[in-house]
Amino acid sequence: MKKHTTNYFNTFICISDDCPSGTGEVPPLKGDAKTVANMQFDMISKNPYKYTSDEVLFQVFADRNDLTESEYESAREQFFSKGQACLRASPLTKRYGWGIHFNEEGKMALYSSESQEYKRFIEDESLKVVKAMKSNR
């Protein structure tokens, strides 16, 4: 079975051209429930440069589907057997004003779009800089 990946290396995802937020915003809860954006934000913001994109996307999938750890191995294989949307499609980069930096190991951290670090990453010629996907065509 073919295995797909969403991981980036030495890359910075900047916010989409139509992002409504000019600053990094903490994604709001929907009632008492965490959204995909909340889950991604919590994992990445509390653990900078600890996780890869694949690890975050799978963990959010596992949590939303109430998988037990014993189910992870087969579920992960199944999850990545088909292509998944990468973090360029994440609400963090499309709606909430967060850029994502991936280091040489593929581990990532969030940077608010108004921060000095964000501006430095955009201008860093040693990084591949890609835009998040637009919300509207």
Could you tell me if residue 69 is inside a domain? yes
Give the tens place of pLDDT for each residue, 8-65: 999 999 999 999 998 999 998 888 888 999 999 999 999 999 999 999 999 999 999 9
Could you tell me if residue 78 is inside a domain? yes
Could you tell me where the beta strands, DSSP code E, fall in the chain? 11-14, 98-102, 108-112, 128-131
Q: Over 90: is that where the pLDDT of 2 sits?
A: no
Q: What is the mean pLDDT of residues 78-84?
A: 89
Question: Nearest to residue 59, comparing CAs of 6, 111, 110?
Answer: 6
Could you tell me if residue 30 is inside a domain? yes
Domain that holds residue 107: 11-131
Could you tell me if residue 48 is inside a domain? yes
Give the tens place of pLDDT for each residue, 87-101: 999 999 999 999 999
pTM of structure: 0.92
Q: What is the mean pLDDT of residues 121-137?
A: 90
Could you tell me if residue 137 is inside a domain? no
Question: Nearest to residue 111, comparing CAs of 49, 24, 37?
Answer: 24
Q: Over 80: is that where the pLDDT of 109 sits?
A: yes
Could you tell me if residue 79 is inside a domain? yes
Q: Over 90: is that where the pLDDT of 106 sits?
A: yes
CB 3 within 8 A of CB 83: no
Q: How confident is residue 84, by pLDDT bands cut at 50, 70 and 90?
A: confident
The whole-number pLDDT of residue 83 equals 85
Could you tell me if residue 120 is inside a domain? yes
Domains: count for the chain: 1
Could you tell me if residue 96 is inside a domain? yes
